[in-house]
């Protein structure tokens, strides 16, 4: 067993505030230990006021990279040397690699969603029609990544229509995948009837509001795959309802695990042990 820290130990730093709830440190450190890698994943709580100073200082250490979470995913961009094309399109970063003193930002949130979806539902996003609930930060990452992966069409429904229209317009202009805003219940029904995948990318249904459904259950049909990014509770009301209606379901915890796995590979160049990551996360969630 490798003892931490050592002079040679490569650090991966999680930046955010607050971080007490994060499962990322034990998830990554389990794999580092299993693979006998001289790496250590550490959480560092930092305020927006001190972000530049802390990030600049840590970047000068023996750091392989950073994970970035709320509230710094957008503000951190101004301090980076380079941005991956997908992260630039999304306008937010959750992963930063440090190579030869240069920092490059990535966004693995959408990638994590797609990997989880494709693994759980045994399908491919390419050529699929997707109905997306929400247009916030998570929805933006998912929608842009779906477009990068050549989804055929993306329908977007959001309580604030202007936000949905802005997201759809950016997808249509920058990636040239057809994105359409859907408002009325009847138009939602018509859109979902043509879709392969329905995704809740809002916080509706999250603890303590477990009884909230983000969509009218009459709109769910057995031939649609239903995914939810909410993972507390593990089985949301949306997923329970969809399962009862015969839908294939994709729980939100997979996105958390796979975005971490994608980040792990960026940091190290090594294939992560996804099953180990999953075991750690499920164990931690079960104990909460």
192 φ/ψ angles, rounded to the nearest 5 degrees: -65, -35
Separation of alpha carbons 261 and 111, rounded Å: 10
Catalytic residue among 34, 49, 73, 245: 73
| Residue 52 falls in the annotated catalytic set | no
Other C-beta atoms closer than 10 Å to the C-beta of 100 total 4
What spatial distance separates the first Cα and last Cα of the chain, rounded to whole Å? 28
DSSP string, 209-233: -TT--SS-GGG--TTSEEEE---SS
- Give the orientation angle of helix 137-148 with respect to helix 109-121, to 10 degrees: 70
Separation of alpha carbons 143 and 227, rounded Å: 13
Contacts of 244 (CB under 8 A, 6+ apart): none
Question: Degrees (nearest 5) of the Cα angle 180, 186, 189?
Answer: 70
Question: Which residues, in sequence order, are bridge partners of residue 105?
Answer: 83, 96
230 φ/ψ angles, rounded to the nearest 5 degrees: -70, 135
Q: Quick check: helix, strand or coil at residue 287? A: helix
Contacts of 105 (CB under 8 A, 6+ apart): 76, 77, 80, 82, 83, 84, 87, 93, 95, 96
Active site residues: 73
């Amino acid at each position: 067993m490798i003892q931490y820290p050592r002079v040679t130990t490569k650090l991966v730093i999680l930046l955010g505030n607050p971080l007490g709830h994060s499962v990322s440190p034990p998830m990554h450190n389990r794999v580092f230990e299993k693979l006998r890698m001289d790496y250590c994943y550490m959480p560092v709580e930092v305020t927006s006021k001190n972000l530049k100073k802390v990030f600049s200082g840590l970047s000068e250490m023996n750091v392989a990279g950073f994970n970035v979470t709320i509230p710094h995913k957008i503000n951190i961009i101004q301090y980076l040397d380079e941005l991956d094309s997908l992260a630039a399109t999304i306008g937010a970063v959750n992963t930063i690699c440090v190579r030869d003193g240069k920092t490059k930002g990535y966004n693995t949130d959408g990638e994590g969603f797609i990997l989880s979806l494709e693994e759980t539902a045994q399908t491919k996003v390419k050529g699929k029609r997707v109905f997306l609930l929400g247009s916030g930060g998570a929805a933006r990452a998912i929608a842009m990544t779906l477009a990068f992966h050549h989804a055929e069409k993306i329908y977007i429904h959001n309580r604030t229509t202007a936000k949905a229209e802005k997201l759809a317009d950016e997808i249509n202009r920058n990636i040239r995948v057809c994105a359409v805003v859907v408002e009325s219940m009847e138009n939602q029904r018509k859109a979902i009837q043509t879709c392969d995948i329905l995704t809740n990318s809002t916080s509706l249904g999250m603890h303590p509001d477990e009884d909230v459904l983000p969509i009218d259950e009459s709109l769910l049909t057995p031939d649609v795959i239903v995914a939810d990014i909410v993972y507390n509770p593990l089985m949301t009301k949306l997923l329970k309802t969809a399962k009862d209606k015969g839908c294939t379901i994709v729980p939100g915890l997979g996105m958390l695990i796979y975005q971490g796995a994608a980040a792990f590979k960026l940091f190290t160049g090594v294939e992560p042990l996804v099953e180990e990551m999953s075991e750690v996360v499920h164990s931690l969630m079960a104990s909460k």
